[in-house]
Amino acid sequence: MQMLYPLHYTIKTTSGAEVTRVANYFPYALTAILSIAAATIAFIEIGKFENRLLQLKMAALNSLIMMLAIGSSVYFATKLIKANQLAGAYDFGLWLPAVAMVSNLIANRFIRKDEKIVRDSDRIR
C-alpha cells in the first residue's frame, strides 16, 4: 500500500506477519521551493509598478522559475506513475502553474505596451 502525504511518501508492504514501511521524506521539495519562489516573485513584481523595466525583468525570471516548476512536477508525476505501474493522469493541479505562466506572459505583454505608450508620450513633449 502506498500513501502520499504532504511531507513524505510511504510504501507499506506486508509479507506474512511482517510489515515493512519505507518512507521517503520531502520527495517533492524541489517543486515546492520553485512554486513558492514563483509566487514570491509574482507578489514582489506587482509592487514594482513604478519601475516597469524591473517589472519586465522580474516577469522573465518568474516565467523561467514557473517553467522549471512545471518541468519538475511533470518529471516527478511521471516517475511516480511509472514506479507504481498505475494508469495515471495529470490532474488539474498540475496544470495550474501553466495557467499562471500564460497569465504572466500576458501581463508582461501589457507592461511592455504601457512602457511604449509612456516613452511615446515623453517624445511628444
Contact 45, 55 (CB under 8 A): yes
Q: How confident is the model at residue 39 (pLDDT cuts 50, 70, 90)?
A: very high
Tens-digit pLDDT profile for residues 57-80: 999 999 999 999 999 888 888 887
Delimit the domains of the chain by residue range.
28-124
Cβ neighbours of residue 12 under 8 Å, at least 6 residues apart?
Answer: 1, 2, 3, 19, 20, 21
